[in-house]
Structure 1
Amino acid sequence: MTEAFTTGTPKGRFAPSPTGPLHFGSLIAAVASYLDARARQGEWLVRIEDLDLPRQMPGAASLILRTLEQYGFEWDGEVLYQSQRDAYYQDALQTLSTHGLLYPCGCSRKEIADSATHGIDGLVYPGTCRHGLSPGKNARAWRIRVDDQPISFHDAVQGEIGQVLSRDIGDFILKRADGLFAYQLAVVVDDEMQGITHIVRGADLLDSTPRQIFLQHALGYATPEYLHVPVAANAAGEKLSKQTLAQPLDSRDTTKDLWDVLAFLRQSPPIDLLKENHAYLWQWALQHWQPNSIPRQRAITV
């Protein structure tokens, strides 16, 4: 791992959650973000998104870092752990509150389900607590007020993406009922603090991006460029994950796994690369990185 950051250079990142070991789907996001950053002569950072303590697997964070090393990844600077950054998230929350964008919500999940409509990423919060808590209600979570202004961005693979948050998402949670900060807030704060200029990740997060852009604007942050690669799916069309019993990576054949990722991303790796070690494969991949060849799909069955 290299040491210091260089100011003014492009920065990408890989931000796994330590809910289990890395699998093929994780490797796709890691390879794509790494190649994109290094092809720009930029830095590549690793962030462990360990906010959701109840879902963590003991030892997973260390296992993830060892696996990355075994596959030949080299990251810049220190690894960032979200679990150590509550003070920064609280500061951002206070800024949003000062701007009048935050309000307490006392609704239970059942109450929301009983009155909400379905949006593009789950239930659309109906705004029950937007103008104050009902008598007898206590604050369970904190939400941000969204508006009806369209938010659109150009994704380097998926093309033009747009949402109207008030219609498609609703006022979303920034601090949960259990006291934990929400992913949407933490990722925005950390990307700004780390100076991330190019976000390359799986297309399962594509629908979260307008929320993150909304928060960036509200906090006065810069908006990075985005590239969302297709996620690997099983025969049932489900994203490979711990929940869908995705097999952990086996580092005994790192070259084959990396070759498979390049093929998944339609980088057309020569079959002869399978005879080489992974260092040689990385060299080839960096010289031939073609983001325009990545399929414009949200998922590909493997």
Structure 2
Amino acid sequence: MNRSFTLLRSIAPLSFCLLAACNASTTASTDSATTDYETFNSTANTTSTLGGAAVKLRENPDVVTVSSSSGTLDHSTGATVLDDGTYRLEDQDGFGFDTLLTDGISVLIATPTRGFSDSYSYARVYTQGYLVGTTPYSATGVFGIVTSDADIPTSGSATYTGEAVGNYSDGTTDYDLDDGSSTVVANFGTGTVNVTMEGFEAVNRSNGNTEDVGFNQVTITGMSIDGNQFDGGTIATLADGTVVTIIGAQSQSDAIGRFFGLDSDGVPDEVGGVGYIEGADGSVTTIFLAD
């Protein structure tokens, strides 16, 4: 099928085929001591561990994969390393204009930008383009200062609310899924996470018109928590709460999320992730970020 990966209009593309996720309520408890976490804007003389999740398109031939990412942020210098398993970006100077990372080959643009607010302390949504040899890749996802595995609660639950955006392709027409909201429920006792993204406005990329694409909600249910990461689960498209088959039988379904930071109650402060489904009749990509 013709894969579309022009996600996300809300993050403007750069150079070659770049792509274009609030307030947690908790009842969780943790058995470990609270760790101090620096925010993205901190200039403290310390280095934080980064982590994230990305949807990646390799071109010629087109192959879409979903993977976790890892890295570091030196708050005093801004030096940033982000490795999505395919490409390792190292920017010794950190963010330019508060949104741009580059190593001279790869360019990464991160929020704050249109489509996501600037209210997140530990996580950012991004889009990135790079070459591996002569093969171009486009990636989009979320990354940030991840919660230590030791600080993940062992009981209770937390509910996070925030934003979501995405992309839908029916094989011929591409749509931006704009202005969505997200609700993420993490049950630390059972080790599961459920995500609801809804209220999307589907905008036809070719003419700018808002259109009815047959669904306005995407859910990811039954994701499994493993340390500061959660993945797996079932992705579904819904119209006003009723499951609808939009892309035909799913041939690919992948989702990964991460926990970021820590609040004063010893619970991860923010959460974000990506989901991707593909079938004979199209594909849907989503990104969520909430706190």
Structure showing greater radius of gyration is 1
Taking structure 1 as the reference length, the TM-score comes to 0.25
Instruction: Flag the structure with higher helix content.
Output: 1
Instruction: Flag the structure with higher strand content.
Output: 2
Taking structure 2 as the reference length, the TM-score comes to 0.25
